[in-house]
Amino acid sequence: MKITGLKCAVIAQTPVVRITTDEGIDGLGQIEASKNYLKPHVLFYERFILGEDPTNVQRITMKLRRFGGFKPWGSSVSAIEMALWDIAGKAAGLPVYKLLGGKVRDKVRVYNTATGPRLKGYSPEDYAENAREKLALPHGFKIFKFPLGFHGGMFASNPKFFYGEVETGYPHPNKGYVTELGLKHCVECVKALKEVLGEEYGLALDCGPGFPIPSAIKLAKALEPFNVMWLEDLITGDYYPYTEVEAFRIVKSSTTTPIHTGEQIYLREGFRDLIERNAVDIIGPDPCDAGGIAETKWIAELADLHGVLIAPHSGLNGPIELMAAVHMAATLPKNFIALEFPFAPQEWWEGNLVKGLEKPVVKDGFVEVPDKPGLGIELNEKAVRKVLREEDKDFFE
């Protein structure tokens, strides 16, 4: 079998990758919706994969990985890797998890970030109301993650929360020493969330990037009585091309509140110091950015050797990426906590753009691991053609 083409189209606001072969088997991958501009970057890789046997996944990805990088530049390599596994599974007549070593679990726990109603504001009352709304969702989530501090609009909405100038217009631009008022406000919002969620549900908090070490330690220690699951990306994180490993290590060693980062990091080499120096309690690689699903499994195995837990990130993606991540998560060691459930436009979940997706996708907070060959889902070509942009009309050729 040989690769004959590499395609990319923005479908329902999300870039989808399709690899074609001379045997009529194709494979699918997906990129985060906020990275619509990456289509030319995806197509850059076609020259390196044409004529290759797509079932030699490792051989091909080793050729590509030097051209990736920290979020968002690893997205293309990751999506291509997913599509290659999809082809390999279909060619073998096996689900992808079988090719990754087999299942550790039959269903994968997922946690809620953006599914359901959004926060209307950043007061304790707004957080409590949103928690009640999310508890009422039919998915049965048992873990919920909320934005706090520099992640989202809390500090951008009030310059009294930190010593710095409020900036807008690009992802997570604010950074600075947090005022006493800002710290107290964060604590009051977490208190309001815990009063609604109680002890039955897990609470995780996406906090940055942007906290300097003293503010990060103060917040983490102030939240110790609330037994939150983790504080994410306090220092560096989203769209940072590096990781402040020593800063995370200092914060982690100063508190019993679990510290988490990793969604922006590319490849095992990017995680090595973070894991081997025990700089965080939990890592959150995104299979759509870390180099793909096999690479993320490798990172999880390394973390397990060092007693580090894993809760993989997932962004504004959709069912193709979700099912790739579910196959991966099914094979991870027992340091796995839960997979972030991706928010995506409703056309992906409620429409007919894909075939083979179980409905409801999430039952009692879990996604069942599919047993169909490959990733277990396909695009509905007839439905997708109706929503293709003019510049993507060659996607099915």
The stretch 224-229 carries a mean pLDDT of 98
pLDDT at 2: 98
pLDDT at 148: 98
Q: Does some domain include residue 139? A: yes
pLDDT at 351 over 90: no
For residues 53 and 105, state if they share a domain.
no
Q: Does some domain include residue 138? A: yes
For residues 43 and 140, state if they share a domain.
no
Q: Does some domain include residue 285? A: yes
For residues 89 and 188, state if they share a domain.
no
For residues 319 and 388, state if they share a domain.
no
CATH of the domain at 218: 3.20.20.120
Q: Which domain holds residue 89?
A: 3-93+380-392
Q: Does some domain include residue 397? A: no
The stretch 115-120 carries a mean pLDDT of 95
For residues 205 and 333, state if they share a domain.
yes
For residues 71 and 192, state if they share a domain.
no
Q: Which residues are CB-neighbours of 230 under 8 A, at least 6 positions away? A: 204, 205, 257, 258, 259, 260, 281, 282, 311
What does the alpha-carbon distance between residue 16 and residue 35 come to, in Å, rounded to a whole number?
Answer: 11
Beta strands 162-163 and 177-178 are: antiparallel
Q: Does some domain include residue 298? A: yes
pLDDT-above-70 percentage for the chain = 100
pLDDT at 271: 98
For residues 170 and 268, state if they share a domain.
yes
For residues 163 and 289, state if they share a domain.
yes
Q: What's the pLDDT band for 120 if we cut at 50, 70, 90?
A: very high
What does the alpha-carbon distance between residue 217 and residue 251 come to, in Å, rounded to a whole number?
Answer: 6
pTM over the 0.95 mark = yes
What does the alpha-carbon distance between residue 190 and residue 146 come to, in Å, rounded to a whole number?
Answer: 9
For residues 336 and 388, state if they share a domain.
no
Q: Which residues are CB-neighbours of 186 under 8 A, at least 6 positions away? A: 148, 149, 154, 178, 219, 222, 223
The stretch 238-263 carries a mean pLDDT of 97
The one-character DSSP state at 169 is S
> Between 396 and 343, whose confidence is greater?
396
CATH of the domain at 53: 3.30.390.10
What does the alpha-carbon distance between residue 294 and residue 292 come to, in Å, rounded to a whole number?
Answer: 6
Question: Looking up tokens 């490849």, which residue turns up?
Answer: 267
